[in-house]
A and B are shown apart, each in its own frame.
Chain A
């Protein structure tokens, strides 16, 4: 897909929230949805199971209006985290301009995080995308949980962030770190414009 179209003067960014099941990807989107003025957001599409697990994917279009003469749109997607929905994940990942990896800060979820990260890498590769070239940020969610249950962002950086991408501690339920993360990924995605190669 074309990220920046100078002919129609449009910028469209597709950002995919990726991560293990129950790490808080949809929560991120819900929080953002709640903060975006009505006029700026489209309908949030959420296909969830009865137990509120994402079945297919969530989709939240945000219209940022005219920026420097470009009508700018962000499309936020989440993938289903559960392992057996890999085909869907791969589908959603197609054409992504940037990826937010939402990790679960709980110590016992570390393996799931790693597994999901590897899954991201291989799924990107299926689309011919090198994980080292696509804009990527990490979010360590659930930092509000008791300290004894979770790993600190620094520890998580050590464990997960071997590519030294921007990382953010977050409490998506209450919104802490959600917009910081979005800003982080937006910046990376948009900066890629300057580099001149459309994602």
Chain B
């Protein structure tokens, strides 16, 4: 069960994953909606060590005008990594190719979920900042976007929940950690609409058999249902708070808070 010569071990002697999880366990996930003041809707998703902040503005005037549609609001999601988000070296500013691709697939994940026909000639801007990355940021981001859009009061057909399924030392495993993603045999980030189980984001790398692909999707559905519950709870909490205090402070799991 120990790792091969060219990568660190991914499973323990007792068959569990290195962080003690079973193959169908998520990392600890916490979701808080309405953490920002100026954004129309916002969410903070802390997923394992991932910390994803999402802010939504709109529907608002579409600038530049040539982006607008006479039929619907245009949805523009921007995935961006803070230069301090990774344990590795300081990131360079400006959108990398990876960030642009993720912005595109996350946008497409929501294009048929947001009821954009109600707001022609306008734009809904969704900004995603990865403050801390730990593998699985695109799934945590799609999850955050869904909550922030709902918090902004933008009509949607459904909430979208996302989770990755991968293959670790021969076993399919839910919600890959960074090491499992880097050194595992396959990674499949999947986003699912909770009501009709439509798959709205699907990417895959590595190698899986026909049956493994089928099983991976089934596992993702179970994981997504758990995430959905956390999303719904976060949105419910906004309205359980009093009118003047619906926003909560941006708690990024602090060490110590000092106030003046």
Q: Do A and B interact?
A: no
State the A residues within 8 Å of B (CB). Answer: none
Which residues of B are at the interface with A, using a C-beta cutoff of 8 A? none
